[in-house]
Amino acid sequence: MSADALRVCEEITRTKARNFYYGLRLLPAEKRRALYAVYAWMRVADDIADEEGATAESRRARLDALALATREALEGRARADDAVLSALAWVAARTALPAADFEAAIEGQRMDLEPRVYATFAETELYCDRVASTVGRICLDIWGVRAGVDLARARELSTKRGVAFQLTNILRDVREDLARGRTYLPADELAAAGLDAAALVAWRSPTACARFMEAQCARARRYFTESAQLDAMVAVDARPTIVAMSDIYRGILGLIERDPAKAMRTRARLSPLAKSWIALRARLGLFAQGGAR
């Protein structure tokens, strides 16, 4: 694999995964390059599912082709003409990467090929696992864990952290997703509040909307809390990264919690300065003992 392939993956991550990039830069070189390759691969899959103007059938075929090419890359048989797959093969040669998480991630993208309303939270949680917890578990494979840590428990907590991240994304992107025909917020919970996604975006019933969003934010916050021990489980050289990435997402969730009506109008985001400050604090070890705040 050429150094150019890794540079391509780094650029994709820098421009397309900006919230994660601040944390990934804190990793030692080899782990950092490995995560750039993984995130670039995730972006390729996501871009296929979201391609404007392409039919569901053509996007499905491309995802099927990606699944086959990914299995080959994980087995060390990547095509030299594909920078992302070449970089992924380089990672797989150094770290055992279970194919199951990559296959599940592609299945999560298949769930986005058609307009869809998620009926219950169980459906939403499955989607979160496939598109986000898969990433968390792959990250854990690359980061490693501290001596004496129960890896199965760490993977369980990594799954919860991934759900926390994706629930935050869902709450941040309600308007954009609705425009694409997707409603990830549980339809039964919206209906119980006397709402649908369009009414929530329009903030038509302020009291009902505020109560609904309070409950949804509280659920996302619980997933962060329940996975708090994960931060102290990862390898020492990866802890600043997971703390920075998690604190950035907690910050986004905090913005939504403070003004959910505004979050329906404009995308909640932290400034580059705020994210840089979070990353600097994580690099300096300025986080709570035993887990993130």
DSSP state of 245: H
Average pLDDT, the chain: 93
26: its two tokens = 């804190």
Q: What is the percent of the chain with per-residue pLDDT over 70, rounded to a whole number?
A: 97
Distance CA 153, CA 230 (A): 9
pLDDT band, very low/low/confident/very high, at 292 (cuts 50, 70, 90): very low
User: What CATH number matches the domain at 115-293, 1.10.600.10, 3.90.198.10, 1.20.1530.20, 2.40.128.260?
Assistant: 1.10.600.10
pLDDT band, very low/low/confident/very high, at 291 (cuts 50, 70, 90): very low
Domain borders along the chain are: 1-97, 115-293
3-class secondary structure, 94: coil
Q: Which tens digits make up the pLDDT trace of 29-41? A: 999 999 999 999 9
Distance CA 138, CA 144 (A): 10
pLDDT of residue 251: 97
pLDDT of residue 16: 87
Q: Which tens digits make up the pLDDT trace of 143-168? A: 999 999 999 999 999 999 999 999 99
Span of 15-29, 33-47, 59-73 with lowest mean pLDDT: 15-29
Identify residue 285 by its one-letter amino acid code.
G
pLDDT band, very low/low/confident/very high, at 293 (cuts 50, 70, 90): very low
Identify residue 162 by its one-letter amino acid code.
G
Average pLDDT over residues 194-211: 98
pLDDT of residue 2: 62
Residue 212 pLDDT more than 60? yes
The burial class, CB within 10 Å (0-12 / 13-18 / 19+), for 184 is buried
pLDDT of residue 1: 56
pLDDT of residue 79: 76
pLDDT of residue 174: 98
pLDDT of residue 18: 77
pLDDT of residue 81: 85
pLDDT of residue 290: 39
Residue 193 pLDDT more than 50? yes
